[in-house]
Each structure stands twice: as structure tokens, then as C-alpha cells.
Structure 1
Amino acid sequence: MDIRHLELLRDLRERGSLSAVAAATHRTPSALSQQLRTAQRAAGTALVEQDGRRLRLTEAGELLADGADDVTAAIARVQARLEEHRGRPVGRVRVAGLPSALTFLLPGTLAALAGSGVTLDVTDRDLAEPDYAAAAADTDIVVAHSLVSDVPAGSAGLHRTVLAREPLDVALPVGHPLAAGVGLRARDVAAEPWIGVPEHYPFDTVLERISAACDVAISPRLRMRDNQLIAALVAAGEGIALLPRYTTDEGGGLALRPLLDVPSARWVVALSRRDRAERAAVRLVARTLAEVGSAVAV
């Protein structure tokens, strides 16, 4: 059984079409179609079927796609043992993740890995929660977050390492009356003008909890992704917002206050496909990210 056939089926399941697989792997759709026909002849059964304009894996195709993770993970484990025998992990590890988490994780991680033989290729990506799991198809480690659990949406089949549990505080202008206290309750902030994040982004979950606790509808007057921009608007008196504690500077006219009666913290989690997670270099980077996250959270 050719491992390339297993990987093609897994990629087809993850990406949904041969054209998408071709674009991601720098091959042509015609070459992949030929490889798929060869795989079906070798298996002696249909591995895909037409579903409208798309291809869908058959039960046999799903079985082999599942096997791709087992086989490639086993190979990665053997390669990792060889690297350990040689003395240390080496190579390039691709990391993608949300900027607000990379801000407190990346500087310490880069410092810790200096001279290790492992280098990082980093991309910042601000996505809706379910999209982080999908990004694991294209990178070694995806730094994601969730307000619900340590299993970000869609990541159940991925290897996960919890990096930090970070509180989300209410950000207020320094002169705001609510900034006089040491903590806030849902009823204190429900009627305030809010600056929020796009719908379905994790921080929005906290506003939903405040709404439910106070039985009111909260409709942010502005929604945006960039935390620095949100902080600037809060400092200018345009509203209040939720901002992550470890990367928000209380200087410049901001005050942060914790929410006392509504869960308001996020899990920051490293996600990897199982085969990539077995690589010695990827394991080293994930472990270093977790160590840095633990130190920041103290």
C-alpha cells in the first residue's frame, strides 16, 4: 500500500476537492486524478464518489484516509528517535496563530530556541475559532484559542497542547466610574456601549454570557479584530471592551477590571496534525511554547 495514496485521500477529505489539494501541494489536478485512479486500482474498490460537483470519500476511502494519520505518525516517531540518537532535534517548524497569543508566547519561545538547531517560520492569523483547526492542514503548529473548552471547535482529531489559560478583562477608560472598583459584575457592564469582535470569534462568547446573565441584548456599536485598535478606542472613550490580560498595557488611558460573576477566560492551545506532532522539532517547539505560557501566567 502506497503511503502517498493514503495521504492523498486524507488531503482530499480535509480540503474538499482535487483542485484545492493541487493548489496546497503544488501539483496539478490531472496528476492527482491519475494518482487517485492508481490508488483505486490498488485498493480494488471505489475510494471516492461524485457528490454534486465535488468528490466525497466512500467508506473504504474514509478508512484509508484515517489510516494515513496512523502511518505517517508512526514514520514521524521513527524519524524522531533517529534525531534523538543524533543528539538533538533540527529543522524548520511552521507556526501560525492568533496575534494576541503570539505576542506573549513568541518572544520567550524564540529566545529559548536560540542555538537549538530548530528555526521557526511564523505567520500571524486572526480567524474565527473553527478555522484554526482547518489551518492545521497547512502548518506544523497552530496557536488557537477558545472560550468554551481546551478543545477549540473542530479540533477533536488533532493533537492538542494547552499553552495558557488567560483571563479576559473589561477594558475601560481610566476616568470611567466603573474603573474605581476592583472587579465588575455582569449587571455593571451590560448597558454600557461595547466595542466587540466579529461574530463567532471567541471573545464574543463572553458578551453572550453577559447578555444571558442580565436578560438583555448586547449589540456592540463597533466590531473589529485588532486588539490595539480596540484599546485605543476604549482609551478615547468610545466604549468598553474585553481585552486579554497578558498583552494589554494599562498605560495610555486604559484600566482593566476582572469580571467576577461571568466566566471570562480563554484557553490558548497549540494544534497539530498527529503525524506532525510526532516530529521531534515540533514536540520541542510545542513544549517550549507551553513552558513560556506557564511562566507568563504565574
Structure 2
Amino acid sequence: MSYDSWNDGGLTPLEHAAGLWGIIYGNGQCGCGDCDECALHEEKLQYKRKEELEGSARFKDAIKVVGGLPRNHDIKLALLRRIHLDSIDVAILRYMAHETLPAYYAGLLKSPQCIERLIEGLFIKVCRITPTPDLSNDIHNLASALRSNPLRQTAYERVGHMQRFIHDTIDRQFGNGASLELPVSPVKNALSAARLHLSIADANRSADYIEQLDAASMLAATVEYAQPQHFAAPPGKRARAMWRVRHLRPLSYYFSENHRQLLVTLRTLDEQLPREQFIYQAAMMYACR
């Protein structure tokens, strides 16, 4: 019997009626997808899956995270924050690979002194500038401001301040335009590592802070992609179209596909649902991923 003749595993209706499907395939359903037997089998599978999710560690963890929160909006934000924290390690690896960031930066990214060490490393190793006490103090103040971020600027915007600080310091030391002679690779790596460090630090802030910066970064990247800004490349360097897009993206861009989809799904969950129903649906969404 040809499979082209039947859309049911190559069995005739009489063979199905005789129970050959169960003997051959052994899954407890006939395989047509339309009969009561198939519907009952699918219902049993869904019920079993539901029980497994309700008993999972992720479901219980989600309930624990949101159990004491009174508002659905706060519940949603708390789980969105947890997804960010769950995803950081994967995002770091993907970001570093995408940016071709040398592996030795990995040990620095979560350090509270990451920004200071990146700037001082550039000054000492690349520019041959030994920081004075005043310069070290300026570096510390800049790093503190970038991390505290009272204006809630994106990581890209804050690293722009860091880049200008580096250029201004070098120009004061060696004359106007000296910063244009900086070697590309170490500067690129330092700025890239700084963006990642600030994004990691941001993920440990409040839930509304994380969501606001994630949305702002994604919007900036989308706008840049649709209407890329034109700029003049420094002498000896080639301008690349839409090069800013990859730097504007939020850290969530580097999450696993499942976690990115979970962010989207959870954000659209109706906050008008009764609280207990909302908690249950949100926790089930979290457990599914």
C-alpha cells in the first residue's frame, strides 16, 4: 500500500478498524487526528504535560518569586526580571562571540571596577599614560555615574560618555587630534566590554528599570536600522552602513530564542485577569521555557 494513497500512515480504513495502527505505531491513537480516540489521546497528553509543568522547579520558582506581589503589573515585571537574570550567562557568551571579544575579558565583566580597569588599561598599555591621583579620581567618578545611571540612559549612550572622556584625556595630553591615532582594536574591545558590563549591571537593577532600558535600546536599534545615521569615518578607517545597530541592541537580543519568545509572550499577558489566574498563567509560561 502506497503512502501516497492514504494520509494515515499507509493503512486502509479496514486496517485501522482492525487496530493495526496501535500494533505498528503503539501510541494509543488511530492517527487520523479527527476521531474521538485521537481527541481523547491528545487531551490526555495535554493533561499530563500540565501536571508536569505544575510540578516543575521552574513553576514553583515563579510562584515563589511573585507570591507576595499585590498587582498583576508587578508580577509581570518580577518574572521579566527573572528571565533577564536567567539569561545572562548565555547572553555573555553570545555577545562576546558576536563582538569577537577576547576571552580574557570574561573575568572582568562582572567586576564592580570593570570600567575603571578598562580605561586605565587603555591609558597605561596603549597610550603610555600613567594616571595621576586626579585622573584616577576622574575615572572613578565617571565609572560611578555610568553605573548609577540616574537619567536611565542606554548602555550605548553611557559608553559614548566613556569614549569622549578617553578622547578628551588623550587630546589634552598629546594635542588636539591625537585621539584619532588610537589603534582600533584595543579601543573597540574596551568599549564593547564596557557596554556588556553595564548591561550585566543593569540586569541586577529593579524590574521597571530593566524593562525601560530594554525597550529604549530596542527602539533605538530599530530606528537606526530604518533610518541609519551617516557619519564621516576617521582618517584611514572605513565607514560601515548601519554599524551602530549592533551596538544599540539590548542584552536581551543575545538571549536564547526560547527566552526571547518568553519575554514577548509574558509582556502581552492580559493584566486585567483575576490575580490568581494571572499568576497561574504567568507561572505556566515561565515553566514552559
Structure with the bigger percentage of helix: 2
Shorter-normalised TM-score: what interval? under 0.3
TM-score, L = length of structure 2? 0.23
Structure with the bigger percentage of strand: 1
Bigger relative contact order (CA 8 A; separation at least 6):
2
